[in-house]
Chain A
Amino acid sequence: MADIKDLETYFNEVYGPVADWMTDFDHANPAYNENAHALWDEMRDKCPVAHTTRYGGTWLPVTHEYVSEIAYDTDRFTSRSVVVSRMKPSLAPDMPPAPIGTAPPISSDPPFHHDARRVMLPAFAPKKIAAWEGDVRALCNELLDSVAGQEVIDAAVDYAQHIPVNVIARMLGFPLEDSDLFRKFVHDVLEGVDEPVHVRQPKFDRLFDYISVQIEEHQANPREDLTSFLLNATIYDQPLSMRHVAGSIVLLLLAGIDTTWSAIGSSIWHLATTPADRERLVREPELMPTAIEEFLRAYAPVTMARLVKEDIDFHGCPMKAEDWVLLPFPAANRDPKEFADADKVIIDREENRHSAFGLGIHRCMGSNLARLELTIAVEEFLKRYPNFELSDTAGVKWSNGQIRGPRKLPVRILPNK
């Protein structure tokens, strides 16, 4: 990952420093994710739909009401691109058009979306995913073994990041030794959003080239994995096009990695900084299910995005065709109109209608897998290390871009009390 300070300089050179976070925000500026909760609270009071001219015009609604309204409104908002970047579809002639998009079904609109999603949903149904529990637990323990005895470990780098990468590589039947490459792809797509099209497009090309090689290898040696599953799948009684298969693999490879890594990291960050919650969870492990849902609510990692289809007035905001709209589910999750004590983390919160996995037809397809990985990762970490703290508060680094979570998380392991 590029050095955060360099990135900050770079952003400032491209757009100038952020003059006012309410009217000139930049979601990919490192300061955004560092201060996200306070920024969203301020926007909710003052805006509640913030706007910036960056990225060719971007809106940011921060209330649960507006976020859900847009998530449900597939007539006026398209999913053709869900990552706000300088690469607007009109500037990127290679980007496949609606309703299919680059990475179906996340980039698809109705009615195609429904049919493309149906193809993949059975692979991610709760009962299918539950079968992975033993493998995930073993993986978490292997990772913990590899840093056993160290006084300080980086819970983001040494632990959290490896879990989703390893699991999705196994599910897709991709070489496990390519993990570093997968993380690079994720970084290019999700964090390289400030780059101009001529820099960004070749990175997408390299990603698709890699996937083509994997597809060819699976065509030659079919087996029981998601790649072969997609190659055998049909839509409208026809095999999926190769573009569709490759796009869906891009989605599977990228969507589960940064997001779950972030959720695991944020949960461990919370437990490192809130000893009372950590001690209670160790004492009362039966609270794990409500604690996990609360971490998902309070530290939801994923902000989605839409493009405005045609000029509209959205509650007084003059949205223009092809403007970006960020959908910050994490901000909706902290809206006091929807949640009592929205700003407090309550690990035994019983009523928790959070939307960490989105709302409406694009609900995260991998939500069952993400929950499984997050729950087991936290359980195994706490079993091994019931007592730990941040070793260096300034050493914690948050991601930049639409997926929010710690990318560096140094924790000191303390003796068990």
Chain B
Amino acid sequence: MSLQHYLADCHEQLGDKNRRAMLMTHVVCGYPSFEDNWQALEVMQEFGVELVELQFPFSEPSADGPLFVKANQSAIDAGVHVADCFAFMRKVSNHFSFKVIMMGYYNTVFKTGSDSFLKQLKEAGGEAFILPDLPVDEAGELHSAAAQYGLDPILLMTPTNTDERLQQLANAARGFIYTVARKGVTGSSTDMNQDLAEFIKRCRQHTDLPLAVGFGVSKKSDIDFIGEHADIAVIGTAALQAWEQGGAVKLREFFTQLTQS
């Protein structure tokens, strides 16, 4: 089943889950450890998240905020390699019911070799990839190769884009689109306000794909806002912060406040 169809089905079931938006969560592979990752994913599964991004650590994570920068660096220092991330992804996709997406930086793909990377991603049960530093203008070959493997490139739409650019992005996108709620890096919170609603509306005019909203989602009211205007809420830094404060217990508390009315 294609990612887009999977998301359509998940959307149907949101009523049963008593939630207004689908959830995509995030873990940095090997940070603090793969065991911690696994336990965090078990909590995420309990709360019925639909998608999980597994971030492959990179030494120059220039689009990430301080917490993820530290996470990337610690994972590399601890000896996490690309091969370990794929091995972990395979375990995860075999065990859990959510769909798994690779997130990382383009050099990881480039250095592995596009074809080898895509092949390993497919074998590991990944559905898609998000590479925030690979602009669509440079991605033609990778995207066509990905299509051969049935893998979706997830593109980012941002508030600074012109309508013409949004259309160009929409034309190349598959699976769903990641709309970036604000300027800046991952981490600090975002005002879920009229401007954001307008921006999402602008994105919507260019595509029928599901829209994910990311950067700074941390509260139930954020989820409700995203449910009203878009489809998928992306939970990144806030969940890692909860994990750092108190492991599975705190993470469960975090998801409880996020999902319960």
Q: Do A and B come from one complex?
A: no
Listed in ascending order, the chain B residues whose CB lies under 8 Å from chain A are: none
Give me the interface of A with B, judged by CB distance under 8 Å: none
